[in-house]
């Protein structure tokens, strides 16, 4: 993954933020929408593109465009920085390989301890019952 090439391929669009905020919100476009075409990117290898498309398929449109928006800050520049950070965080997370989980068995001593503890709890509760007269 070449981050410098990816940054050059990004397209930004400033949009008016929604929600409360008064007069400032109504006249300033502070929300930033980032669009990144995964399929035509030169910053990702073919294998990386396949991995990204499969792992974050729910966030990618039919045209293989990833759209991320940010309206946290009142500053357009700050929102632009935040949205770029989010993109790279998302790409890095999708490209990291998960460790292979090896199935393990509990040790004999831990199984014995667990069963002993269960018996102890059971007997403790059994002593709470009223004795039956026969």
Q: What is the pTM of this model?
A: 0.67
How many Å apart are CA 105 and CA 128, to the nearest integer?
Answer: 35
Q: Name the 3-class secondary structure at 65.
A: strand
Give the count of domains, the chain: 1
Residue that is written with structure tokens 């831990």 in the block: 110
Q: Is residue 102 part of a domain?
A: no
Give the tens place of pLDDT for each residue, 65-121.
888 888 888 888 899 899 999 999 998 998 888 899 999 999 999 999 999 999 999
Flag whether 24 is in a domain. Answer: yes
Compute the half-sphere exposure of residue 94: CA atoms within 13 Å on the CB side of its CA.
23
Give domain status of residue 118, yes or no. Answer: no
Residue 54: Cβ within 10 Å count: 10
Range of the domain at 82: 3-95
pLDDT at 57: 84
In a domain, 13, yes or no: yes
Nearest to 34 by CA among 104, 98, 89, 95: 89
1-10 confidence digits (pLDDT tens): 888 888 888 8
Q: What is the CATH number of the domain that holds 55?
A: 3.30.160.20
């Amino acid at each position: 993954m070449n981050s410098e090439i990816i940054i050059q391929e990004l397209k930004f669009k400033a949009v008016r933020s929604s929600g409360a905020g008064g007069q400032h919100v109504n006249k300033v476009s502070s929300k930033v929408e980032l669009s990144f075409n995964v399929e035509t990117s030169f910053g990702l290898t073919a294998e990386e593109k396949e991995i990204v498309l499969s792992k974050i398929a729910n966030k990618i449109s039919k045209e293989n465009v990833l759209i991320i928006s940010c309206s946290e800050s009142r500053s357009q520049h700050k929102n632009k920085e935040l949205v770029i950070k989010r993109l790279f965080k998302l790409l890095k997370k999708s490209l990291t390989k998960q460790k292979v989980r090896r199935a393990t068995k509990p040790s004999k001593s831990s199984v014995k301890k667990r069963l002993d503890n269960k018996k102890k709890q059971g007997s403790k509760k059994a002593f709470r019952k009223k004795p039956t007269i026969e």
